[in-house]
Structure 1
Amino acid sequence: MPGKKPPSSLTTGLSCLIIVVMALITAFILMMTGRDNPIVLVPAKPWKSETPVTSRPPIKASTTQKVPTSATKTEETTRKPRNVCESPECIALAHQLHNWKNPSVDPCEDFYEYSCGKFNEHSLPSSSRLERKDKLMNSMLNKFLAKNETSNSISENSMKLFYRKCKDYYNPKTYRKLVIEKWREVISIFREIGSWPYLDENWDDSELDLNDAFTGLANYGFPFLTFFFLNSAENYTVSVATISMEKVEKLTVTDFKAVLTLSGIVPDEQLLEDDLKLVDELEKDISNLSSEADGEASLSDLQAAVPSIDFERIIRHFINSSKDDETWSKVKENVMVSKIPLFFNQTKNLETILKSTPKRTIANYIMFNFVRILNMHKNTDCLKEVLNDFSFPALRVLVQHYFDRENLQIASELVDNIKGHLINTFENSTWLHPETKKNAIRKVEMMKKIIGYPEEYDAPGALDKMYESLNFSTSDSYFQLDLKNFKFNTQLTLKLTPMASLLIMRESKNLAANAFHLRSRNWLGINIALLDDPFFDSTYPKYAQIAGVGAIIGHEIGHGFDPNGRKRDENGKENDWWTPEDSAEYDRRAQCLIDQYDEFDDPDFGKNLNGSITIGEIVADLIGVDVAWKTYKSLDMSAEPSIIGFENYSLDKLFYQLKALNWCGTGAEYDLEDQLKFVHPTESFRINGIFSNMKSFAETFNCPVGSPMNPEKKCELF
């Protein structure tokens, strides 16, 4: 087969010339067109606001793809930049907005389904936004604790040591051995504390000094003194009340014998059984007198009623201030006594019981019940133990390693803005009388705020001053660390009582994605987990900050005006400051919300809900969304960046969709019986029920009158 004829030199030259000319023409076209517009090789498809996406966009999303020429560089420096938030936090927020919604649903029919209908496709079971954040915070702290690294921080090292010892204690391979060691240490404590018949076969009544026994327990920091206990959580005062041993697991003769035998004590079983029966009878007497408190009394009143117990001496031992009069004077101002029959009944009370009961039975009552309390199963989740006992150090670790502190200032300003719009709401109310308005406004103005984390503990070494007395040693057993920690935390709690803001932060589970309103103080608190994405971020547009956290802030402030909170004044004291007419009108309006919840057709529970139980949260929800909306509408949002995919979308509509994200969930996790016990309404109602009362929502989405989201009858508060 013959081959092809080779090209001539002329043909070759012409071909080369043509190629060169074409290349020059192409280059010239590229240069000229590149001066004004980049060449679009593949048209980009920007997100449309009504179309959900299934994957996260690139951080630097672009509407075009450019040929990499020098002309492109010129275009990038002169073209007006896109005003779109492209931070990782904003991208994650855009992902939720697009992927969780179900655009096939009419927002005027079911806004919850419209905003959250595809949440299950992108979420783990039982994993709402709040639950996700809690898990993430715990995961970050767990990762920090698991690193076997020491630092210069006493509080951090103590926290890590406690965590490691806890892990070792609950290791199945060593658990039994360590439990035996624990009970031997308990018996040693009993010997140190004082008199107990089972530790001395020659024991007699004269050996029991009740106050010595109680101060001995106080020296170890145990607030449960069997006849009474100190509780700092109630109203953030030192509350002297009774402990209900009915809630503590009963132990048998065999159980107590096992504890005693560990220390080489072989008790007489019949005597032990008889003693336990007498202790049970005494416990019943005390329980019968431990009814609901009828008000409060002073420490001096208690001392006069029960002179056999030196309460001041005992409490001073708790705070290690037997010689520190200054600390004691501050704590003493905050001691509150529950006015219960056990203390103040005229015919039979703790004093008469102590006088009429054999000392052997009293001694056994103290020690047997102390064993029962120590036998209460601690949480085997060591991370939760750290969160309970080292809340400040744990919080500081997360703030320093993972938190944007700029968020705190923005949130603080947002609180003030939200408060201002609630004040405007009261001022513009058409039915509140002037005196009621004045009191309501004063309560908002006087409401204090606790935002995220106290600055005084941010400086290096600040927390170490607080924790230097903890005195952990690597040679300590987990039980010994637990004892030291128990004593330290009891003392710390009592010492912080005069500094209520720090105590409130410590007691409020400050690592949870949560906010709170403390009725008894009229204080608002916001934990750092809520001041972080996905709820809040300094890079978010203002409208997203207000919809995400502003509504939560408004909700918590609103608790000051729910059916229970409204009966307390600006200082948190019980004081019904409403005129009779206004009080009656408020109740009528609240009843509208109760009826609405009762009739709400919930996707999980149907029309079987009880608004009387949830009315406090419903009122707070309605106030929260209302003042957040008013705050949003009062600000100029024209310069705020868009969220990716919503560049040409109504901000008013976007506000409501952003608000809905917080309540997107996977559906009911409980049956109806349990749901009816909860004070919070269902997730569906927190969107559909609340939004259906807002005229602004109906106007924003142009919902027809009579549609589910724009009913003719709406419930309004102020």
Structure 2
Amino acid sequence: MGLLKSSFRCSISLSSVELPIYLLLLSFSLTFGNEQKVIRNSETDYSHAELVKSYMNSSVAPCDDFYEYACGNFENIRPDRYSRRENLGKPGYVLDDIAKELLHRMDLAESLNVSRELRVAQRFYNACLEADLHPFPAADSHYLNIIRSIGGFPAVDGAAWNASNFSWFNMSAHLTNYGARGIYSEVLPNNGRSEVSFEVNYLGFDAPVQLDNMKKQNKNKSWAYKRNEQRMRRYLRSFNLTEAKIAEVIDGVFVFWREALEEEYAIRYGVPFDVTNYFEIIWNQSEKRGSFNSDLQIRDRVCIRHPEAVANYLAMQLLYTFDSSLKDIKNQRDYCTTKMRTSMWPLFKKLHLAENFDKEKRSEVLNIVQEVRKSLQTLVEEVTWLDSEARKKALFQVSATEFHFGTPADSSLTDQLVREILRLEVVDDSYAVTNMNLLRLQVDIQRFRIRHPREDVNNTKPWKAIFGFDKNITNDNAIVEIDAGLLEPPYYHRSWPHSLKFGSLGFTLGEHLTTFLLFSSFEKMDLIYKDCQWKTFSKHLGPKVFQQLYLYTDSGGLRSAFEAYRSRRMQTLEDPEQKMPGLDLLPDQLFFLGFAQTVCYDLRAANWSRQPKYKLLSDLSNSEDFLQAFNCPVGSGMRPTNQTCQVW
């Protein structure tokens, strides 16, 4: 694969599959002026409309099943990518393409004094593109040397492995230095000073195993059992072990898993567990600065009985972390981009902020925030189930909540994190070593706040909220940090009509506000809503579907966003018949489509259940605004009865 040419801002070597998405993203990068009352003849609008249409299943009537109508074709979009987009609301693909564009922006980097860091990113990206990653070279001597230095690999080392020198706890601690999932993991404080805690990890690789999975192994092997068996077999075959030996090693790991799961179902004893070695390995000191889970004591009993199986398991967990898991060599470019962005996010966030967050964009987003806030305040004032004290408290909470986005509160700390990237050593003749160095760097950046507590003593904001490069919305002391990914499609783009912006970004902001109010003040709301849902929908939807629906009690985000949109439309005197080019939907209908497509998800993804669909159906089935927008008749899938349950 060819080297990166730093003088080019965009690559034009695109496959026929990549070209439509490239053109779409290129259109997103254009600079737009002020919003027009009526959007006409915009290339970006047409491009986005085509993308929106590609997710939809137009053969399904919106009043029958709005999720299938809005998202029914989503799982068929871009299945060739390195890792499928599991949820349209996860902006990883968009951010990856932005990072790939920024990788060429040496002019921008020089203006921000981060050109050296960008060159490091370029060197890693090129090294990754040129590496032999498919199939994964598990037997690379550099990987094996690391494994042997932290605990060993008895399946490979045989009689040379000494069980008396093995500590499962210490080996697991070493795994955390590479971001690998060992027997336990550290939980870094969100906004504290220096305390960490520990939690027991789930067992398995591609899929977590449960006790019932293990009990079925001699009869009808479960999906999780088979996936993990295949993963271990692939790694062990790389070392030219016999099939008999491979089967023996895998059986040993499964026995360890089964006994560990059985013990965890037994009574848990609150016996203190000595974690001194963890602090010596990770922090180079023996001072205990955290809490430890008593479940570690349970795992300890099982691990002591099966040292060889545990060592083999942990060795393969480390290989699993090093593994790119490419299904095809064509996915390598996507993998390298994701790897670069997620490991060096402080650099790409700094570049992205400078390039994309101008005054006009900030101003409009803050206007959306204010419109949604005012709308929610009105709803709080109008609902009848609040007493005067609760209403006063709610109004104060809504008005006091501050929304920050784009720029971290502490720019000096951001610059320190960016400079950490200079520590990355890219080894020209060994991607394995470069890969391990990058993983260490990524973990060190995550631990930076604890390693330098004095430099961050006055900063109490949540770590991820300040520095994440995704779509995180977190709340700490009534301060909401909106991250970069939330200001990209499918949540927001400056050229979109107001209906789409309020349906996606507006809803997300409103949902956050009302969810925070719900959990801080309104237990009564929960009871009212569930009682109404039971009386109205249980006999029409069936107990199984209803059980999923009634879990969700917050429809205030949707209502407040729609009222805010309606207010904006009246203020700007927008054409009530305004449409987005290429989509035969009225503005109110486009609002709800935008809302729905923020939660499209891929049913084939292992870690997704159907809950996002049920939440969407619950919100819309109880929205009079939605039912009127699409003129849904009583008895249809989205309107099973003539009654709705609205608490806002």
Flag whether TM exceeds 0.5 (same fold). Answer: yes
How far is the alpha carbon of 1:306 from its aligned partner? 1.9
Structure 1 residues 646 and 542: alpha-carbon distance in aligned structure 2, compared to 1, 3 A threshold: closer
Q: Is 1:378 matched with 2:324?
A: yes
1:270-316 deviations in Å (ceiling 9; x for gaps): 8x99888776655544333335999xxxxxx98x6123x42xx5246
Q: Distance in 2 between matches of 1:658 and 1:203?
A: 63
1:681 aligns to what SS in structure 2? helix
1:555 aligns to what SS in structure 2? helix
Structure 1 residues 336 and 155: alpha-carbon distance in aligned structure 2, compared to 1, 3 A threshold: farther
Aligned match for 2:405, one of 451, 454, 468: 451
Aligned position for 1:10: none
Structure 1 residues 405 and 370: alpha-carbon distance in aligned structure 2, compared to 1, 3 A threshold: farther
How far is the alpha carbon of 1:207 from its aligned partner? 4.5
Aligned match for 1:290, one of 264, 267, 276: 264
Aligned position for 1:244: 202
User: Letter of the aligned partner of 2:127 in structure 1?
Assistant: K
Q: Is the 8 A contact 2:38 2:574 kept in 1?
A: yes
Aligned match for 1:424, one of 363, 368, 378: 378
Structure 1 residues 523 and 710: alpha-carbon distance in aligned structure 2, compared to 1, 3 A threshold: farther
1:122-176 deviations in Å (ceiling 9; x for gaps): x99648995897655433434555899997534433333333333333455xx57
2:186 aligns to what SS in structure 1? strand
Aligned position for 1:663: 596
Structure 1 residues 463 and 400: alpha-carbon distance in aligned structure 2, compared to 1, 3 A threshold: farther
Q: Distance in 1 between matches of 2:132 and 2:440?
A: 22
1:431 aligns to what SS in structure 2? coil
How far is the alpha carbon of 1:475 from its aligned partner? 2.6
Aligned position for 1:229: 185
Pairing of 1:101-112 with structure 2 (within 5 A): none
1:240 aligns to what SS in structure 2? strand
Q: Is 1:437 matched with 2:372?
A: no
Aligned position for 2:558: 625
Q: Distance in 2 between matches of 1:668 and 1:491?
A: 32
Aligned position for 1:679: 611
User: Letter of the aligned partner of 1:610 in structure 2?
Assistant: V
Pairing of 1:351-366 with structure 2 (within 5 A): 357=304, 362=307, 364-366=308-310
Aligned position for 1:477: 430
Aligned position for 1:406: 360
User: Letter of the aligned partner of 2:435 in structure 1?
Assistant: D
1:468 aligns to what SS in structure 2? helix
Aligned position for 2:464: 504
Pick the structure with greater CA Rg: 1
User: Letter of the aligned partner of 1:557 in structure 2?
Assistant: L
User: Letter of the aligned partner of 2:509 in structure 1?
Assistant: I
Q: Distance in 2 between matches of 1:560 and 1:645?
A: 34
Q: Distance in 1 between matches of 2:547 and 2:363?
A: 37
Q: Distance in 1 between matches of 2:292 and 2:126?
A: 39
Aligned position for 1:72: none
Structure ranking higher on relative contact order (CA contacts 8 Å, 6+ apart):
2
> Number of matched residues?
552
Structure 1 residues 281 and 114: alpha-carbon distance in aligned structure 2, compared to 1, 3 A threshold: closer
- Compute the TM-score of the two structures, normalised by the length of structure 2: 0.64
How far is the alpha carbon of 1:628 from its aligned partner? 1.8
2:596 aligns to what SS in structure 1? coil
Aligned position for 1:588: 531
Q: Is 1:489 matched with 2:447?
A: no
1:520-560 deviations in Å (ceiling 9; x for gaps): 99875544344246753456676664344212321333333
User: Letter of the aligned partner of 2:434 in structure 1?
Assistant: L
Structure 1 residues 627 and 188: alpha-carbon distance in aligned structure 2, compared to 1, 3 A threshold: same
Structure 1 residues 322 and 446: alpha-carbon distance in aligned structure 2, compared to 1, 3 A threshold: farther
Aligned position for 2:121: 159
How far is the alpha carbon of 1:466 from its aligned partner? 3.6
Structure 1 residues 455 and 199: alpha-carbon distance in aligned structure 2, compared to 1, 3 A threshold: same
Aligned position for 1:185: 142
Among all aligned residue pairs of Structure 1 and Structure 2, give the percentage whose two residues are the same amino acid. 12
Structure 1 residues 659 and 524: alpha-carbon distance in aligned structure 2, compared to 1, 3 A threshold: farther
Structure 1 residues 252 and 489: alpha-carbon distance in aligned structure 2, compared to 1, 3 A threshold: closer
Q: Is the 8 A contact 1:543 1:632 kept in 2?
A: yes
How far is the alpha carbon of 1:430 from its aligned partner? 0.8
Q: Distance in 2 between matches of 1:386 and 1:638?
A: 44
How far is the alpha carbon of 1:504 from its aligned partner? 2.5
Q: Is the 8 A contact 1:517 1:525 kept in 2?
A: yes
Q: Is 1:560 matched with 2:524?
A: no
Pairing of 1:311-390 with structure 2 (within 5 A): 313-315=277-279, 317-318=281-282, 320=283, 322=285, 332=289, 335-340=290-295, 342-343=296-297, 349-350=298-299, 357=304, 362=307, 364-376=308-320, 377-380=323-326, 381-390=335-344
Aligned position for 2:82: none
Q: Is the 8 A contact 2:190 2:464 kept in 1?
A: no
Structure 1 residues 90 and 530: alpha-carbon distance in aligned structure 2, compared to 1, 3 A threshold: farther
Q: Distance in 2 between matches of 1:90 and 1:551?
A: 26
Q: Is the 8 A contact 1:516 1:524 kept in 2?
A: yes
How far is the alpha carbon of 1:368 from its aligned partner? 1.5
Q: Distance in 2 between matches of 1:704 and 1:252?
A: 51
Q: Is the 8 A contact 1:223 1:231 kept in 2?
A: no
- Unmatched 5+ stretches in structure 1: 1-55, 60-81, 295-300, 344-348, 570-576, 601-606
Aligned position for 2:644: 714
